[in-house]
Structure 1
Amino acid sequence: MHAKPRWAELLLPLSAGVFQGMGTHGVQWWQVHDSGMLRVPLDPLGWALVLAGPLALIVRRRHPVLCLAVAVGSTLIFIGLGHPYGPVFLSPVVALHTAVVSGHRRAAWSMWGLAYVFLGVYTSWLAPVRTPGWFHDLTVGALMGLVVVVAEFSRARRERQAERERVEQEELRRQASEERLTMAQELHDVLAHNISLIHVQASTALHLIDDQPEQARTALTTIKQASKDVLTEMRSVLNVLRDGAPRSPTAGLDRLDELIERSGLPVTKEIVGAAGPLPPEIDRAGYRIVQEALTNVTRHAPGASVTVVLGYDPRALTVQVTDTGGDAPGESLGSGNGVPGMRERAVALGGALTATHHGRGFRVEARLPIPEESR
C-alpha cells in the first residue's frame, strides 16, 4: 500500500482542531450563562486542552497509544475543570478508533473504561449541576460502547482485507513459482532431447563420413535442424522469463510426427480410439512424455525400434512408448532425471506413469485423465 502524503496526514488533525475550537466556542455562551449548566468559560488553559487532542492526532499512526492517552486525558481534564461540553470528544473518538485498528485493543479498552468511570463519577458527584441516575450512566455507556463497536468492526474488516490480500499475494507467488518450474521442466526436456539427438547423430556422422558420406550428410542435416530447434525453444522460454508473462508452450501431439522424424529412430506410431482435441496441459504433457521416452531410447538403447501408442478415450489419454532394446551399448539406466520428470508431469495432472523393463527393451506408459469440464 502507498503511504499517504504528509499533507493528507495533517488534514484530519487540522480539521479536528478547527471543529473542536469553533464548536466549543459556539456552545460556551449558552452553557456558561444557563443556570441549568453553570459551565466555566474558556481560558488559555481551556483552549490549550481543546487543541491538545487534535495536536495528538498528528502522531496517531506512529504512536497510537500515546495519542489516545493525550486525547482522552486532555478531554477529561477539560471536562473536570468545568469547561463547556461540546465537540471536544471528537479527538478521543478518532484516537480510540486508530488504536483499536492498529492492534492496541487492550490499551484502548482500558483507556475507554477509565474515561467511562471518570464521567460517571464526575456527573454524579463532582459536576456543578449533577445528573445522577442509571439512565444517564446507561446512555453514556451505550454511546461509548457504540464507538468501540464501530472501531472493532473496522479493525475486523481491515484484518479480513489484509488476509485476503496476503492470500492473493501468496497465490500469485505460487503461480509464479509453478510457471518457473514449468519453464525449467520444458527447457530441460528440450535440451535433453535435442542434445541427445545431436550427440547420436554426430557419432553416426563421424562413423560414416568416410565410407558412406550421404548418410553422414543426413546425420549432419539432422544435427543442424535439432540445433536450430533447441535455439528456438530456448529463445522462446527466455523471452517469456524476461517479459514475466505466462505463456503456454506450443509443443503438442500435433507435432509428434515431426518429433519422430527428427529422433532418427525407427518408430511405429499407433492410434487407438478416436483422436480429438485435448486440453492444452494434457496435449503438452503427452508430447513431452513421448519426447523424453525417445530421448531415453537414444541415450540408453541406440539402434532399438520403438512403438508409440496413443490411446484416446473421453476420460483419459494413454501414452505408451515401448522399445526393443538396442544392440550397441548405451548410457546406464537411471543416470538422469528423465523418468522422474515424466512421472512428475503425470502426477501433477492427476495421472500416473510406469516405467518398466519389457522383454529386452523398456516400456513407459502414462495415463493422463481429462478433466470433466474439458470432456
Structure 2
Amino acid sequence: MPWRSTLLLTVLVVVGTHLAALGRQSDRAHLDAFAHVLLLVAAGALLGRQRYPVPVVFVTAAAATVYLGAGYPYGPVFLTVAVGCFGALVAGRRKAAWTAAGMFWGGHVLVSHWLYRWLPPPGDPAASWGQELVIATWVVAFVAVAELVRVRREQWARERAERAQAARRRADEERLRIARELHDVLAHSISVINVQAGTGLALLDSDPEQARRALTTIKAASKEALGEVRQVLDTLRTPGDAPRAPAPGLGRLSEMVEQAASAGLAVTVEGAAPRLAPGTDLAAFRIVQEALTNVVRHSGSRQARVHIDTAAGALRLRIDDDGPATGADAGGSGNGLAGMRERAAALGGTIEAGARADGGFRVLAVLPLRASSEESVVSREDR
C-alpha cells in the first residue's frame, strides 16, 4: 500500500486547510472536530486506492462533498478527489472515476446554488456560475490527464508483452534450429558409424584391412560429428559470436558423397551447385544429407542420385533411390522429413517426399533463390 504518499498527502491536506482557513474565518464555518474527521477520511481512504480504487474514489468524493456542504473553508480537500479519480482511471475503472467526479461537481453545484440557504455558515451567498465553470474545467482537465496516463500505461504494458512474446518466439525458434541441426548432424554421422561398425565386425577376422578402413571411417565421421555438434553448442554458450568454422554448404557435397560411399552407398551428382546465401546453402546441404541418410538407413538400394538444377528463380534438389524400403518407415521416421520441411518453409520453399511408382523413393526440394539474394544482402550488412 502507498503509505508514504498517503501520509504526505494527509499532512498536506490538513495543514493546507488550516492555512486556507486563516483568511476565511469571517465567511466560512470554523474547523471543528467533524471537519478534521472529514479531512482524515478523505485523505486516509487513499491508502487503499491501488487495491480498492472504486470504493476509494466514491469515499473521497462523498467526504469532500459533505465537507463543502458543511460550510468549511475551501482548501486542499479537492486534491483527495483528484488523486482518487486518478487512481481509479489508472486502474481502468473509468466509469467509476467519471461518475465520482460528476457526483462531486454536482454536489458542489447543489450546495452552492440551492442548499446554501439552509446550510452553514449563515448568510453565505450563492456562488457565481463563473466559479462553477472554473471548477468544472479543472475537474475535466485533471480527469483528461489521468486518462492520458492510463492510455500510455496500457500502451507500455502492451509493448512489454509484445517484446516478451517476441523474445519467447525467438528463443523457441533458436531451440528448434539447434534441435534440427543436432538431429541432422547426429543422424547422418551415427548412420555412417553404424554401417561401418557392422562392416568392421563382419570382416574383422576374414579381412582385417577392410575392417581397419571401416574403423578409420568411423573415427573420421565421429570427429566431424563432434566438431559440428561443438559448433552448434557454442552458440548456446556465447550467443551472438561468429562461429569458429564456416557453416557447411553444397560446396562440401563431394565430402558427403565420400562419406556415403564409405557407408556402402554410391551417390551420383548431376548438375552444379550455384552460389548461394549462407542460410540457403546450409539448408540445401542438410536436406541432401538427411535424404542420403534415409537411403542408408531405410532403403535396400545401394545407389542414389542427386540432381541439382536452377530454374524460374528457384533451386531444385532431387534425391532418388531405387528402393525397395527395408522397413515400415520408408523414407525416414518422420523427424528428418519434418526437419527438411521446416528448413524449406523458413526460406519460403517446399519439400515433397514420397514413394515413386517404380518402387523407389524421391525427395524434391524447391528453395527460392530470391530469398537467397536478399539473405546475402543482409549478411553483408551485418558484417
Shorter-normalised TM range: 0.7 to 0.9
2:27 is equivalent to residue 30 of structure 1: no
How many angstroms apart in 2 are the aligned matches of 1:124 and 1:248? 77
Match of 2:362 in 1: 363
**1:96-245 → structure 2 map (5 Å cutoff):** 96-127=85-116, 128=121, 129-132=124-127, 134-237=129-232, 240=235, 243=237, 245=239
Alpha-carbon deviations, 1:324-367, whole Å to 9, x = none? 547xx733414511334322321232111223427564332211
Kept in 1: contact 2:304–2:320 (CA 8 A): yes
How many angstroms apart in 1 are the aligned matches of 2:257 and 2:145? 69
Match of 1:330 in 2: 326
Matched residue SS, 2:365: strand
**CA offset at residue 214 of structure 1?**
1.6
**CA offset at residue 66 of structure 1?**
2.9
Kept in 1: contact 2:64–2:104 (CA 8 A): no
**CA offset at residue 102 of structure 1?**
0.6
Match of 1:3 in 2: none
How many angstroms apart in 1 are the aligned matches of 2:348 and 2:332? 26
Match of 1:285 in 2: 283
Match of 2:306 in 1: 308
Kept in 1: contact 2:294–2:331 (CA 8 A): no
* Shift in CA distance, 18/132, structure 1 to aligned 2, threshold 3 Å: closer
How many angstroms apart in 1 are the aligned matches of 2:221 and 2:87? 65
**CA offset at residue 117 of structure 1?**
1.5
How many angstroms apart in 1 are the aligned matches of 2:225 and 2:359? 31
Normalised to the residue count of structure 1, the TM-score between the two structures is 0.84
Amino acid at match of 2:3: L
Range 245-254 or range 82-91, more displaced: 245-254
Kept in 1: contact 2:320–2:361 (CA 8 A): yes
How many angstroms apart in 2 are the aligned matches of 1:246 and 1:112? 54
**CA offset at residue 240 of structure 1?**
4.7
Matched residue SS, 2:326: coil
Amino acid at match of 1:141: A
Kept in 2: contact 1:299–1:331 (CA 8 A): no
Kept in 2: contact 1:201–1:223 (CA 8 A): yes
How many angstroms apart in 2 are the aligned matches of 1:100 and 1:178? 39
Matched residue SS, 1:272: coil
* Shift in CA distance, 168/232, structure 1 to aligned 2, threshold 3 Å: same
Amino acid at match of 1:318: R
**CA offset at residue 97 of structure 1?**
0.6
How many angstroms apart in 1 are the aligned matches of 2:161 and 2:46? 29
2:79 is equivalent to residue 74 of structure 1: no
Alpha-carbon deviations, 1:5-33, whole Å to 9, x = none? x7xx3332233223222322222121223
Kept in 1: contact 2:322–2:359 (CA 8 A): yes
2:19 is equivalent to residue 19 of structure 1: no
Kept in 2: contact 1:69–1:111 (CA 8 A): yes
**CA offset at residue 313 of structure 1?**
7.0
Match of 2:380 in 1: none
Kept in 2: contact 1:179–1:246 (CA 8 A): no
How many angstroms apart in 2 are the aligned matches of 1:142 and 1:153? 16
Kept in 1: contact 2:298–2:332 (CA 8 A): no
Match of 2:351 in 1: 353
* Shift in CA distance, 272/87, structure 1 to aligned 2, threshold 3 Å: same
How many angstroms apart in 2 are the aligned matches of 1:41 and 1:254? 95
Kept in 1: contact 2:182–2:229 (CA 8 A): yes
**CA offset at residue 70 of structure 1?**
3.0
Percent identity over paired residues: 41
Kept in 2: contact 1:352–1:367 (CA 8 A): yes
Matched residue SS, 2:95: helix
Amino acid at match of 1:214: E
- Provide the aligned C-alpha RMSD in A: 2.9
User: Which of 279, 303, 317 is the aligned partner of 1:319?
Assistant: 317
Match of 1:52 in 2: 41
2:224 is equivalent to residue 262 of structure 1: no
* Shift in CA distance, 255/54, structure 1 to aligned 2, threshold 3 Å: farther
Kept in 1: contact 2:38–2:63 (CA 8 A): yes
How many angstroms apart in 2 are the aligned matches of 1:132 and 1:48? 25
Kept in 2: contact 1:272–1:312 (CA 8 A): no
| Unaligned segments of structure 2, at least 5 residues | 377-383
Matched residue SS, 1:350: coil
**CA offset at residue 124 of structure 1?**
0.6
Normalised to the residue count of structure 2, the TM-score between the two structures is 0.82
How many angstroms apart in 1 are the aligned matches of 2:126 and 2:255? 95
How many angstroms apart in 2 are the aligned matches of 1:219 and 1:197? 10
Alpha-carbon deviations, 1:202-227, whole Å to 9, x = none? 22222322332222211111122323
Kept in 2: contact 1:349–1:368 (CA 8 A): yes
Alpha-carbon deviations, 1:76-131, whole Å to 9, x = none? 22212211111211121111111111122222222222212111101112335333
Q: How many residues align?
A: 359
How many angstroms apart in 1 are the aligned matches of 2:184 and 2:20? 81
